[in-house]
Structure 1
């Protein structure tokens, strides 16, 4: 859900804006609770057992002051009269309560830790799996830095809540409730003094819940900006160093870093105000109880042991409020993180998997492409990129699409690969609308090689085998030889087992493109899309690839997007695109003879070779 802009609120009353903000906040919180509930549901019995541990721990702790009171009022008197049994039993009972509390605490920490780590494992898998399946349009607007923030700082906020917050919450709630009931049983009048002092604490707690939630929303937003700036700088480090952008990047990082620091400072201020108020109320209440209780002990209306137990309970009564504050702190951070993560998980792919996919034919036509009344724009409010047009590419035909930058060539290729769906009209493969083709079938039928040619860290063989994971080493070597890559791969230190390192940094740009070609050819698609795929090849390498392509593209539908006319000339058919429209369509030889746009491009290319 995107945040409204300032212009969205012009002429709207302040109270209406506040109402809208409450509705939006309620929806975000409901979405976060749904996500948390779905994560906890598989662990419901373990959570129930954790609650039992907490009850046992708090029961044992609550019994301690009662045993102290009994020891003072009855045990000491028994020892004086020569009957020490009561004191001995009180001492033994206190020791047993201590051991039981420690054992229950150990069981809870171990169990809650396992639940928390399983939950985080599930959450990371969900986010990673979901983000991989979201459409290209999402990744073009939602930066990788934001995704990293969701999987790192936001997940860590939830981890903090599970590691420390839940223990503090459950123990504190049971402790406060148990002590309140015990105080009422011990002495009603003193208990009412304590409960009266609890009123300002409740008021401050309500303020703290709202203020801390707002503060931690700001911190999660600010830390995401820091991560985005850092990731963007590291990804573009070559450009940073080449253009000496260090200073400007440091200025930007300083700005977002200061914003993150200020957001954290504000969160700490909110925390400080709450804890100091709780401490003040607790100390004042303790002073009143001790003063009045001492007077009542003197006049005989209150036993000394009861006053001692009251003092012990009262200290334990306010100490958990600090734990509750820490939990509220962790909870606010975790809720803000859950809002961000749940927002990502509720994103729907713009290019959706069909509910009832239709299979592509296994026989007959393989690679017959057809555009029917296709029109495309990237968003409903953006300009039209491809005006309505029709195109038929028979199976086995190689077409080249040329035109000026921004003419719509790459957009056409993205429609073939179904990275996007047309705004209107249909794109079909072998008579089946691409909207109705299962994603797995489409990816095996259509392969796209781009100018980027991304390689993953790992061996050369692994990167080629991405095209067909069950391929043998012989298959990998065969396709590498077909594109002219075998010779340079064999010369690497470990041959096909050489690690290409991050983003293929061990290989040159031309070598990465050859590996990408081998990967695509191993996939054996019925349609191969080459989007500026030869742009980084030097002349000798390009000639080797050209020869390989002529053989490999035989009997395969191919769409070539290229500026280099040496690549275009191997096509059966050339489409010249201008403003998203096909202005020339024919074989390379026919278009050269027509003295049109393609002929001028061809002549300019010949002149550049002279």
Structure 2
């Protein structure tokens, strides 16, 4: 029976090894898994914005002029009270007309510039987000198999969805509010001092407690919103992995346990949200208490000075209007700080992901493969002094040496954990050896350009993963330039043509998500056809017939006997029926080769292979 872990791996996700109660713990933050290097998030933001510097400067100029137009309103009111209205009482309507035209003109100018700023900043923000999401996708694909085995797909999805959404809110909503608030404070402070420097200094002094209130909120909210970001990421991870592993969930009746685990994560997210809302409420109450007190003090002193004749009424009116504008952004400022801390936490996690380096790197100076003999695609493979250990465990392969001549088909058998699949992954360069070298026609795999390596070595695994799309499109992954005739020929060679032709739309039938429209055995045949169309020098079959029934397996073996002729092949198999087509059999135990010979030679030696073969025959009977 396939284990839950194997089933989850087949669905494209790594299993969660931690118990459910650990996963639900809010203290186990997602950011802890991939800490970003110091300054990485700021460097990432600068790199994203750099191509749009001209647009950013233009947007800044537009906003500067727009704020100038907006802040002219109270000055016009002061002029109207102190100059235009008295002039009107003496029969002169000109100043009133100037006031009306000026107010209307500045309002229209501010609106037009506001629209231009929103359009320009929105376009820049969307371009930045598009590039960021594309970087996450491209980088995740470039990272090695070892990374994806320990960092689940749900976390990557959280980086590209909820974390990017947090940054979107900051760029498209919060950043505009911040710039407007910043410019407004500068304009208002300057105008207050210009109108009356004594009252202006007094008004600015009353705003000092507000600065302290903002600093306290910023300190507390950074902790709160970091916890909230981690909580929503945990919810996404659990949800994604449960849906990806729905078959083992059903098979092993995990619904109730999953409900409990998800409820714990959901409750942690609710508590984090509640704490964020409460923190925002505290900030709003404190800020408006400071603001209203400050306005009251300024109005009292200003009224006293108006009554004593040392301040004009229009100036006091302008003061009050400007003070209201100074304190109006309190709520937007709180929302911005909310978005800011959420975006900073998200940017840190994205920067941590993008800072990961592929364990299998492109060589600085690639070495091309030598041209092989005409009509013989096979490549010679050699393992020399190879040792290998996974980062999360002990040594899997002790010192290991193996030579496979070009064109030879080698089957590798042994108990689970013997190192068979590790051998295949090293040959496919999903991993690099800890020591030693794996060579292809004498060229170290680490010196080959990744595209050339992927053309030269193709692996078919037991997962037989198919992408959404037609059968023809899935087969053509082996060679995107292949014609329909070549696709059909590959399917015929592997024995897949008959079942494909019987589908409702033949080769144009959509296999749907993960190939769910066709059976597991049929998916495996399509995967075989895809590999054969690639025409590699080395073909690796990692338990690739495990999903086939007996008739299907026989059809594939018959096709393989023809297709593999002249090609180097490494077959990892539990079914010993697959071994019969091999030229050579290796029996592995604890990462070492303990038997090596042809199938017939090993059967008569009465060793480990003979015992495995006898047990297999009895199981078949």
> Is residue 2:465 matched to residue 1:454?
yes
Are the counterparts in 2 of residues 366 and 430 from structure 1 also a CA contact under 8 Å?
A: no
Q: 1:193 to 1:27 in 2, by over 3 A?
A: farther
Choose the corresponding residue for 2:179, options 170, 173, 178: 170
Aligned counterpart, 2:189: 180
Aligned counterpart, 1:206: 215
Q: 1:465 to 1:244 in 2, by over 3 A?
A: same
Are the counterparts in 2 of residues 172 and 321 from structure 1 also a CA contact under 8 Å?
A: no
Aligned counterpart, 1:355: 364
Aligned counterpart, 1:8: none
Q: 1:98 to 1:29 in 2, by over 3 A?
A: farther
With normalisation by structure 1, the TM-score equals 0.94
Instruction: Pick which of 236-245 and 581-590 moved more.
Output: 236-245
Deviations 1:83-118 (A, max 9, x none): 121121011101101001101100000111100111
Shift of 1:27: 6.9
**Unpaired stretches in structure 1, ≥5 consecutive residues:** 1-23
Are the counterparts in 2 of residues 444 and 523 from structure 1 also a CA contact under 8 Å?
A: yes
Paired with 1:179 and 1:275, the residues of 2 have a C-alpha distance of 21
> Aligned pairs, how many?
586
Aligned counterpart, 1:64: 73
Are the counterparts in 1 of residues 35 and 349 from structure 2 also a CA contact under 8 Å?
A: no
Alignment of 1:372-387 (within 5 A): 372-379=384-391, 382-387=393-398
Paired with 1:132 and 1:451, the residues of 2 have a C-alpha distance of 21
Shift of 1:169: 0.8
> Is residue 2:375 matched to residue 1:367?
no
Shift of 1:29: 6.3
Runs of 4+ in 1 over 6 A off after TM superposition: 24-27
Alignment of 1:85-234 (within 5 A): 85-234=94-243
**Unpaired stretches in structure 2, ≥5 consecutive residues:** 1-32
Secondary structure at the residue paired with 1:565? Answer: coil
Structure with greater contact order relative to length (CA < 8 Å, sep ≥ 6): 2
Choose the corresponding residue for 2:308, options 296, 299, 310: 299
Are the counterparts in 2 of residues 56 and 100 from structure 1 also a CA contact under 8 Å?
A: no
Are the counterparts in 2 of residues 75 and 90 from structure 1 also a CA contact under 8 Å?
A: yes
Paired with 2:284 and 2:202, the residues of 1 have a C-alpha distance of 21
Alignment of 1:131-530 (within 5 A): 131-364=140-373, 366-379=378-391, 382-530=393-541
Aligned counterpart, 1:17: none
Deviations 1:428-458 (A, max 9, x none): 0000001101100000000000000100000
Paired with 2:50 and 2:38, the residues of 1 have a C-alpha distance of 18
Q: 1:347 to 1:526 in 2, by over 3 A?
A: same
> Is residue 2:618 matched to residue 1:604?
no
Paired with 1:95 and 1:609, the residues of 2 have a C-alpha distance of 92
Are the counterparts in 2 of residues 398 and 553 from structure 1 also a CA contact under 8 Å?
A: yes
Secondary structure at the residue paired with 1:385? Answer: strand
Are the counterparts in 2 of residues 456 and 502 from structure 1 also a CA contact under 8 Å?
A: yes
Shift of 1:26: 12
Paired with 1:383 and 1:449, the residues of 2 have a C-alpha distance of 26
Shift of 1:608: 2.1
Paired with 1:261 and 1:322, the residues of 2 have a C-alpha distance of 23
Choose the corresponding residue for 2:58, options 49, 57, 72: 49
Are the counterparts in 1 of residues 494 and 529 from structure 2 also a CA contact under 8 Å?
A: yes
Q: 1:584 to 1:25 in 2, by over 3 A?
A: closer
Paired with 2:443 and 2:72, the residues of 1 have a C-alpha distance of 74
Q: 1:219 to 1:28 in 2, by over 3 A?
A: farther
Deviations 1:481-533 (A, max 9, x none): 11110000000000000000000000100000000000000000000000000
Secondary structure at the residue paired with 1:147? Answer: helix
Are the counterparts in 1 of residues 36 and 351 from structure 2 also a CA contact under 8 Å?
A: no
With normalisation by structure 2, the TM-score equals 0.93
Shift of 1:210: 2.3
Paired with 1:204 and 1:291, the residues of 2 have a C-alpha distance of 24
Secondary structure at the residue paired with 1:350? Answer: coil
Paired with 1:571 and 1:27, the residues of 2 have a C-alpha distance of 48
